[in-house]
Amino acid sequence: MTARSTNTGEGSGAHDPHRDIPEATVARLPVYLRALTSLAERNIASCSSEELATAAGVNSAKLRKDLSYLGSYGTRGVGYDVDYLSYQIAREIGVTHDWPVIIVGIGNLGQALANFSGFSSRGFRTVALLDAAPQMQGQAVAGLEVRPFADLAEIVAAEQVSIGVISVPATAAQDVADAMVGAGISSILNFAPAVLSVPPGVDVRKVDLSIELQILAYHESRKAAESAEAAATVDNGSEEGITA
């Protein structure tokens, strides 16, 4: 996009664009990567933007624009090489090597996460499970021993962990986040329904099921209201030019 080389020096390499990928695009790259993986599993070697867009559930123009932020990895008149593009996206995201991850709070949700195989297959490796409850400690979950919360800093340092998952009750979430940041973690995935405050430089993403359900409920209410209104309109006879 607009080779604005007016940037300070920095003549890094053949493709300069590596700067400033829009956040909305970053959020879609993993979706494209998954679609590509799925194509590769079906032994499809190349695909058009149209095909990939369909597989990813987006508009093809948006897909092409997104990919153009990474560089020109397609061939006009042909399409994209599945393996090549996969690698380029993985490299851009930074999942060409595995990221060590720790999970704090091995309750209902934490155990499900620990047992989830989808993480390891997508560039993440759970290196430790931590919990504050004495009765949890030493128990084996998903082949890992649950360790005391106090070991956090030690583990983070030893394993060079930069990503942490919080699945403790909301009341404990801020404390855990503080401890994580103190131990050197700089990216947090938070499942607790709490607003975390962290210093600049630390990224937090939250996953909140209640919110998702409430958003669905809102739209559901509106749908109900709409059909009720439509019925009322029919009742009323004319009113509103919707009359047949």
Ligand X SMILES: NC(=O)c1ccc[n+]([C@@H]2O[C@H](COP(=O)([O-])OP(=O)(O)OC[C@H]3O[C@@H](n4cnc5c(N)ncnc54)[C@H](O)[C@@H]3O)[C@@H](O)[C@H]2O)c1
Which residue, chain included where needed, has tokens 């940037």? 7
Pairing of strands 140-141, 99-104: unpaired
Among 54, 68, 174, 186, binds DNA (CB under 7 A): 68
* Residue 237 interacts with which of ligand X, a second copy, DNA, none, CB < 5 to 8 Å by class: none
Which residue, chain included where needed, has tokens 């939250």? 206
110 binds ligand X (CB under 6 A): yes
Tell whether 185 is in a known binding site: no
> Contacts with a second copy in 197-226 (CB under 8 A)?
197, 201, 203, 205, 207-224, 226
The DSSP code for 141 is E
* Greatest Cα pair distance in the chain: 74
Say how many Å lie between the first and final Cα of the chain, rounded: 50
109 binds ligand X (CB under 6 A): yes
Rounded to whole angstroms, the Cα distance separating 205 from 23 reads: 13
Q: For ligand X, what does the binding mask look like between residues 170 and 199, x meaning CB under 6 A?
A: x-x--xx--------------xxx------
* Residue 60 interacts with which of DNA, a second copy, ligand X, none, CB < 5 to 8 Å by class: DNA
126 binds ligand X (CB under 6 A): no
Q: Among 45, 47, 43, which Cα is nearest to 55's?
A: 47
Q: For a second copy, what does the binding mask look like between residues 161 and 180, x meaning CB under 8 A?
A: -xx-----------------
Q: CB of 187 within 8 A of CB of 164?
A: yes
125: helix, strand or coil:
strand
Q: Using CB under 6 A as the criterion, which residues of the chain lie in contact with ligand X when the complex forms?
A: 104-110, 112-113, 115-116, 118, 131-133, 136, 149, 167-170, 172, 175-176, 191-193, 209
In the annotated binding site for NAD(+), the residues are 105-110
